[in-house]
Chain A
C-alpha cells in the first residue's frame, strides 16, 4: 500500500529564512507521481508541482525548489527567502497508476508553515 509521511507537523520561521518541508513516500510501483499542494487559510488546495517517478531532475520555480531523491524515497520542498504569504499547510501526495482509469492519490498529513514577520 502507498503511504506518504510528512514528519514535520508545524514549522515556524522568520521572514526571509529558507525552509525545507520533508516528504517521504512508500510505494511498490515503479510508475507513480508525486505532488505538492498548498492549503492557505481559505481552505482550498492549490497545486504546486507534479513529478513522475522517471524524472529525478530537481526543479526550481522562483523561490520554490523541489528535491526528488528516488534512492531515499523523498520529495522535499524548499522555500527560499520565505514570506508571510507562504504561511499555509503544505501537503505532499503520491499517485499511482491503476488499471481501469483510476489514480489513487494518497496525501500526507501536512506540514503547517508559519512565517513570522
Chain B
C-alpha cells in the first residue's frame, strides 16, 4: 500500500534561519507531488507541485523553494525564514491516470517562526 511520510511534525525556528522539510512517498512510482501551506485561520494554499524528478513549478512567489532529487522525495526549503512563513505545511501526492485518485496527504509539519 502507498504511504507518505513527512517530517518533522513540529518545528520552531528563529527568523533568518534556514528550513528543510522532507516528504517521501512509498508504494507508488512517478507520483505528482505537492506542497501546501495552511496559515492560521486560512485555507490551503498550493506552494509547489512537481510532475517528475527535477521538475518544480511554483504557484506563489515567496522565499521558499522546493526540490525533487528523487522520484518519491520532495523537499521544501528556505535560506532565511520570515515570521510570515509560520503555518502548517502539508505534503501530498496523487497519481495521473484513467482512474484519477484523490490527493493523499502527509500528517503535516507545524512550523513556528519566532
Contacts and interface: CB of A to CB of B under 8 A. Distances in A.
- Does B associate with A? yes
Contacts of B88: 43
B95 to A, nearest CB: 9
Contacts, number: 63
Contacts of B30: 101
A91 B96 contact: no
Contact of B105 (A45, A52, A100, A109): A45
Interface residues of A, number: 26
A104 B48 CA distance: 10
Main secondary structure of the interface of A (DSSP, over half): strand
A102 B51 contact: yes
A105 B47 CA distance: 11
B51 A100 contact: yes
Interface of B: 30, 32, 34, 36, 42-44, 46, 49, 51-52, 88, 90, 92, 94, 96, 100-108, 110
Interface of A: 6, 33, 35, 37, 42-45, 47, 50, 52, 91, 93, 95, 97, 100-110
